[in-house]
Every structure is written in structure tokens, then in C-alpha cells.
């Protein structure tokens, strides 16, 4: 990766994670937006490590699941959880137009947002508890399978940010997401799809080895399909409610994709 591209990727990682990478400009981060699946790969590895550490420390499944949820919030800085909560407020209020925009921009947390965020955290903890049970299987197989599923879910969730901002209308003010929307539309899909394909290959290969081609294919295809469905729903809903997608809408898409892909992967694995 050339030095300029590396600098821009560092800017993107600095924005979307809490890794101490130093100050970077928003423009630099936007120029690396097509590399966002790599951010998902990094997030997935770090969150997977939480469950590995829980096993080493001998924590019980519920505590380990809670640690997983906390790690997700810390590593992402709660950025997407905040967007998920804010846009859930708009959906819960059944608002459209100026009222929807007013609710979205209101710094106070509404009841629908609180309920949605609480449900998100409960579901995340429950799914993580199931994943932790795989880590407890003797040998490396269970841990590798669980880590692969976690990493796959984060890669696809990160990709949902790109797809949501690409397909939605650009926010009509100088919000943080505007420069990313413009960059995604300018660059298009080619580079992003190449990065996505190469990144997804990593967890998919491990799944092929450890759960076989049928389940590995079903997990990857089902997870990718649900990410696509999450993006399409978010893009269509935000267009009808506020007319564009901003950072909160993208964060909602991210969290919806993450929860659905983790859930369907565990269902397929249990077949």
C-alpha cells in the first residue's frame, strides 16, 4: 500500500474506530472510504480477541457476552450505536419530512431510541454468548469458526456504510457523511468491490476448511444477502422519511447488518 494510501487508510481507521492513530483530516478519510471492508476486518479481529481473552480468564458465558458487547462499543466508539438509536427514534415516531429531520438532529435520546438501543445490546450479548460456547470447544476449530463468523459480520457491516451512502441522496448540508457520500459516488464500485471480495475471502476460507463447503457457502451467502436487504431497507426508508442519508442513517444500516448477519450465521451453523 503506497504511503499516501496508507495515510488515508489510517485517517479512515482513526475516524471509525477508537484506535490511537493520531489526528487526520476528514477529506483523507473519505478518500479511503472504498477500503472500509478492511476496517471491518480490523474491528472483527479485535472483538473476536475479547471472546478469546474471556476464555483464558475463565469467565462465564453471560459475562463473556457482555464483554463482547462492551468491546464492540469501545472499539467503534459507539459511533454506529448512536446512529442506530437516533434513526430508530425517527422510525418509532413514524415521522417524515421536517419533523423526522428535527427528531434526528435532536441531541436528546427519545424513548424509541432508548428501547432500540437496549434491544440491540441485549441481542448482541445473547449472540455473543452463543459464539463464546464455540470457543469452549476443545481444540482450535470452535474458536476459528466463531472468529470467522464475527469477522465476516464486521466486514459486511462496514461495507453497508459504503453501500448506504452510495445509493442514497447526499445530505444537503455540510455534515460529516456528506464528503463520504460524494466520494463514494465519485469513485464508484470497482475498487470497493475488489477490496470487499479479497477481505471476505479470509473468513470464508477458514469456514470452508472447518465447517465444509455447504455450510460455509450458506453462511457467506445468507450474511451477504441480509446485508444487502438491510441496506436496501435503510436507503428506501430514509429516502421516504428525510430524503437523504447522513451518518446516523449509515450507522443504523451498519448495526442492522451486524445483528442480522451474526444471527443468520449462527442459525446456519446450527442446522
No. of H helices and E strands in the chain? 12, 0
- Each residue of 224-271: pLDDT tens digit? 999 999 999 999 999 999 999 999 999 999 999 999 999 999 999 986
State mean pLDDT over 20-31.
86
Match 470452535 to its residue by C-alpha cell: 142
What is the distance between the alpha carbons of residues 192 and 184, in angstroms, rounded to a whole number?
9
In this model, does residue 24 exceed pLDDT 90?
no
| Average pLDDT over all residues of the chain | 93
Question: What is the structure's pLDDT at 21?
Answer: 83
- Each residue of 189-234: pLDDT tens digit? 899 999 999 999 999 999 999 999 999 999 999 999 999 999 999 9
The pLDDT confidence band at residue 2, using thresholds 50, 70 and 90, is confident
What is the distance between the alpha carbons of residues 258 and 160, in angstroms, rounded to a whole number?
9
Question: What is the structure's pLDDT at 202?
Answer: 96
DSSP 62-82: HHHHHHHHHHHHHHHTTHHHH
Domain borders along the chain are 3-11+26-269
Question: What is the structure's pLDDT at 126?
Answer: 96
**In sequence order, what are the residues at sequence separation of 6 or more whose Cβ sits closer than 8 angstroms to the Cβ of residue 3?**
none
Least confident span in 8-12, 110-114, 163-167: 110-114
Question: What is the structure's pLDDT at 137?
Answer: 84
**In sequence order, what are the residues at sequence separation of 6 or more whose Cβ sits closer than 8 angstroms to the Cβ of residue 247?**
79, 83, 175, 176, 177
- Strand, coil or helix: what is 59? coil
Question: What is the structure's pLDDT at 139?
Answer: 78
- Each residue of 144-153: pLDDT tens digit? 999 999 999 9
Question: What is the structure's pLDDT at 271?
Answer: 66
| 22 burial via Cβ count (<10 Å: 0-12, 13-18, 19+) | exposed
- Per cent of the chain over pLDDT 70 is 99
Cβ distance 140 to 134 under 8 Å? no
Least confident span in 90-94, 107-111, 125-129, 258-262: 107-111
In this model, does residue 6 exceed pLDDT 90?
no
Question: What is the structure's pLDDT at 178?
Answer: 94
The pLDDT confidence band at residue 1, using thresholds 50, 70 and 90, is low
Amino acid at each position: 500500500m503506497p504511503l499516501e494510501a496508507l495515510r488515508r487508510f489510517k485517517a479512515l481507521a482513526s475516524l471509525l474506530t477508537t484506535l490511537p492513530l493520531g489526528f487526520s483530516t476528514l477529506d483523507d478519510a473519505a478518500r479511503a472510504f472504498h477500503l472500509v471492508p478492511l476496517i471491518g476486518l480490523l474491528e472483527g479481529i479485535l472483538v473476536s480477541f475479547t471472546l478469546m481473552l474471556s476464555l483464558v480468564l475463565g469467565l462465564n458465558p453471560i459475562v463473556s457476552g457482555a464483554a463482547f458487547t462492551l468491546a464492540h462499543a469501545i472499539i467503534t466508539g459507539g459511533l454506529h450505536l448512536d446512529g442506530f438509536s437516533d434513526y430508530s427514534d425517527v422510525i418509532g415516531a413514524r415521522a417524515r419530512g421536517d419533523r423526522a429531520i428535527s427528531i434526528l438532529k435532536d441531541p436528546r435520546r427519545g424513548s424509541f431510541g432508548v428501547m432500540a438501543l437496549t434491544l440491540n445490546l441485549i441481542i448482541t450479548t445473547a449472540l455473543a454468548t452463543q459464539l463464546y460456547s464455540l470457543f469452549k470447544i476443545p481444540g482450535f476449530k470452535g474458536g476459528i469458526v466463531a472468529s470467522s463468523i464475527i469477522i465476516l459480520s464486521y466486514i459486511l457491516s462496514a461495507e453497508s456504510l459504503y453501500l448506504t451512502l452510495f445509493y442514497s441522496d447526499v445530505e444537503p448540508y455540510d455534515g460529516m457523511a456528506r464528503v463520504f457520500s460524494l466520494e463514494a459516488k465519485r469513485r464508484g464500485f470497482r475498487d470497493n468491490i475488489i477490496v470487499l471480495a479479497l477481505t471476505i475471502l479470509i473468513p470464508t476460507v477458514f469456514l470452508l476448511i472447518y465447517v465444509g463447503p455447504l455450510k460455509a457457502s450458506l453462511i457467506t451467502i445468507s450474511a451477504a444477502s441480509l446485508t444487502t436487504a438491510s441496506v436496501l431497507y435503510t436507503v428506501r426508508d430514509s429516502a421516504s422519511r428525510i430524503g437523504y442519508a447522513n451518518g446516523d442513517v449509515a450507522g443504523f444500516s451498519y448495526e442492522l447488518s451486524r445483528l442480522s448477519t451474526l444471527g443468520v450465521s449462527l442459525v446456519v451453523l446450527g442446522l
